[in-house]
Amino acid sequence: LARYEQPDDIVWDEEKYRGSAYAAFAWAVYVAEVTVDLVTYGVSVDDFVAIQEVGKVLHPVLAKGQIIGGVAQGVGFALYEKVIWENGRMQNGQMTNYIMPTSADLPDIRVFFEELSNVHGAFGAKGIGELPMDGPAPAIVNAIEDALHIAFDSIPLLPEDIFDALAERAVPEIAPSSAQGRQ
Contacts by 156-159, CB closer than 8 A, 24 or more apart = 156/76, 156/77, 156/78, 156/79, 156/80, 156/81, 156/82, 157/43, 157/78, 157/79, 158/79, 158/80, 158/82, 159/40, 159/41, 159/42, 159/43
Taking only Cα atoms into account, the Rg of the chain, rounded to an integer number of angstroms, comes to 22
Catalytic (active-site) positions: 130
- What are the distances in angstroms from CA 14 to CA 25, 65, 154? 19, 37, 33
Q: Of how many residues is the chain composed? A: 183
CA distance 15 to 50: 37
CA distance 126 to 115: 10
